[in-house]
Structure 1
């Protein structure tokens, strides 16, 4: 239970961080030529959905503790749950450009799959390096 709480809080942090970073990127793209305004209720909805997405990607990562499941299946379960939660939230938030047609929706989905995979890969590399460092310390003792 302690692990789930820790992962949930990490998900809240990730969701807030990504919400802020994406907001900054959008503001930089718009620049001084436009405005980046939303109602209070829209802001709250966007922030809460970002937090839910963060939790949706972090909590399922507990699957990696089950050594009876292949790494590939762990990855599919983790990313499948996370991305399903993302797509539901993105649709509710209006982040999926359904009004622009199927091509725009497919590009949007592909973009977020790539972003999700990139973040996953960076974590994978980090933890792989950590494991190598631990193994090296164990050999040295």
Structure 2
């Protein structure tokens, strides 16, 4: 990490990074089902190498799972590069106007926060796998 992250920065960065990883996997939307999201995030977070050290404020336990908060609050958070918007049964990542594409978001995260793009695949891949095909949308 290149800088000290506030609690809000940590939530923003995980939301942004998860979007990068999901989009790199071709996933353009994820389910809004709370139980499924929580279970999948807990599964992925448990083995994410940066979880405890870089993001101590982000929780993924039975007592508290922050994935809903990360997604729901992203449009209102200052500093987020990606906003997750709910559309019927889907959460969809949308880039903020200051970013042209997901590559620019990934480069910003790597440059400012010191976390390379491939690290987000280590979070997104088990998350998406646990969600399963019925709880993700690929393509446009």
Give the TM-score, by structure 2 length: 0.26
Counting helix residues as a fraction of each chain, which structure ranks higher? 1
Of structures 1 and 2, the larger Rg is shown by 1
